Amino acid sequence: MKVLVYGAGQLARMMYLAGTPLGIDVQAVDVNSQAVVNPISKEPLNTTLEQAILAAESLTAEFEHVPEALLQQAHDSGKLRPGMQAILTGADRVREKALLEKLHIANSAHRIVTDIQQLDDVLSAIGADLIIKASRDGYDGYGQWRLRSQDELAELKLQLADLDLQAVPLVAEKRVEFEREVSLIGVRDTSGNVKFYPLAENLHHQGQLHVSVAPATDVTEALQRQAEDIFTSLANELDYVGVLAVEMFQVGSSLLVNEIAPRVHNSGHWTMQGSVTCQFENHLRAVTGLPLGDTRAIGPSAMINIIGCTSFSRQLLSIPGCHLHWYGKSVRKKRKMGHINVVGQTHKELGEALQKLAEFLPLEHFPKLISEAKRLQAIVLDN
């Protein structure tokens, strides 16, 4: 059985690795060259895109910014899972906000900006503490601007002056004063059955995910259920098939959706060692019509992104419960090179393992590690 993935990055690579024991052959499409490649070696396979589409059981995407002509061709095959509407919604913050509003799902106050002069009215309506986001093609905090006060508005307008806001509008969002960021990774099959992983707590630095801990600490049943209800509402509306990630801000006991990702997600990488069935396998199971796998956590886990750095001691593998996932990419500043998963018996023990891990890593690239290790070590009772 073959599955064709649009995008040939680390997510396609990890799908390939998860598909192998199931006898699922994952092939990847390099969306720039349209070549069909092996997701590990990136070597072109002896097939055209059209042939690969015909041969595949289903088509899926590892990122939402698939060029529209390619997405249309995938849609026309009748095999694209999740469907085109879901992928387009994840790729466009204007559509995404419209969906959240339609479903009455709480999210940050916002305005769509199609002309720079509208910013004055936006400030009057929702204040001057804003995060302004390009509606398309942003990731890892790219395509975002921060406004702190009215005084900075003139300068910001200059910075944005060259953008074609008719073509790509901005979404101006009120900055949310959240207690923390969490995400729910879930999976929905072709019959509409859903399964959820426990909420993960996500630590960002400069708009980029650095550490996820799952199950998140201090999660009440009501909070988990709130997240699951949001997921179900979105997934049902989109007639979604596959893994879907919902990024949220927690404010008190309420969740506000930040954004959705119609795919496997960085904040779900902990599932590779930390749950019974990882997100990559569950995505493949869903899109090929197989039964969904058990999403229970094995123990408290942490996922630590390795960003913009290649030199660290591989002796970190001596830490019990510690695993390395290396993507084999050339290094660039802010580029995700790999990640480390650590599984413990308790959150406290996980914290101790992270403290040890810090000894093997250049800490300037891991700004969240020590504080998270300390926080977890202070947890006496697991919830």
Which residues contact ligand ATP by CB under 6 A? 108, 131, 133, 138-141, 173, 175-176, 181, 204, 207-209, 247, 258-259
Minimal distance, residue 185 CB to Mg ion, in Å: 13
C-beta of 173 vs 189, nearer to ligand ATP? 173
Picked from Mg ion, ligand ATP, none, the partner binding residue 139 (CB below 5 to 8 A depending on kind) is: ligand ATP
Residues numbered 237 to 276 that lie near Mg ion (CB under 5 A) are 247
Residues numbered 69 to 98 that lie near Mg ion (CB under 5 A) are none
Q: Which residue is nearest to Mg ion (CB)?
A: 247
Structure tokens at 186: 């879930």
Structure tokens at 209: 């995910």
Minimal distance, residue 266 CB to ligand ATP, in Å: 7
C-beta of 296 vs 332, nearer to ligand ATP? 332
Query: How many CA atoms are closer than 13 Å to the CA of 95, on its beta-carbon side?
Result: 16
C-beta of 133 vs 188, nearer to ligand ATP? 133
Contact pattern from residue 145 through residue 174 relative to Mg ion, giving x for each residue in contact according to CB under 5 A and a dash for the rest: ------------------------------
Minimal distance, residue 202 CB to Mg ion, in Å: 9
With CA atoms as reference, report the closest residue to 125 among 89, 163, 173.
Answer: 173
Longest dimension (CA), the chain: 59
Structure tokens at 37: 């490649």
Minimal distance, residue 259 CB to Mg ion, in Å: 5
C-beta of 173 vs 372, nearer to ligand ATP? 173
Write the CA distances from 216 to 62, 118, 220, 345, 368, integer angstroms. Answer: 25, 39, 10, 14, 16
Minimal distance, residue 296 CB to ligand ATP, in Å: 25
**Per-residue DSSP letter, 80:** B
C-beta of 57 vs 152, nearer to ligand ATP? 152
Picked from ligand ATP, Mg ion, none, the partner binding residue 176 (CB below 5 to 8 A depending on kind) is: ligand ATP
Q: Is 252 left (phi over 0), alpha (psi -120 to 50) or beta?
A: left
Q: Please name the residue ranges forming H helices in 115-182.
A: 119-126, 153-160
Three-state secondary structure call for residue 364:
helix
C-beta of 181 vs 349, nearer to Mg ion? 181
Across-strand partners of 339?
305, 325
User: For Mg ion, how many residues bind (rule: CB under 5 A)?
Assistant: 1
Q: Report strand pairing: 25-29 vs 2-6.
A: parallel
At CA 357, angle to CA 352 and CA 359, rounded to 5?
110
Across-strand partners of 163?
none
Minimal distance, residue 118 CB to Mg ion, in Å: 24
Q: Which positions lie near Mg ion, rule CB under 5 A?
A: 247
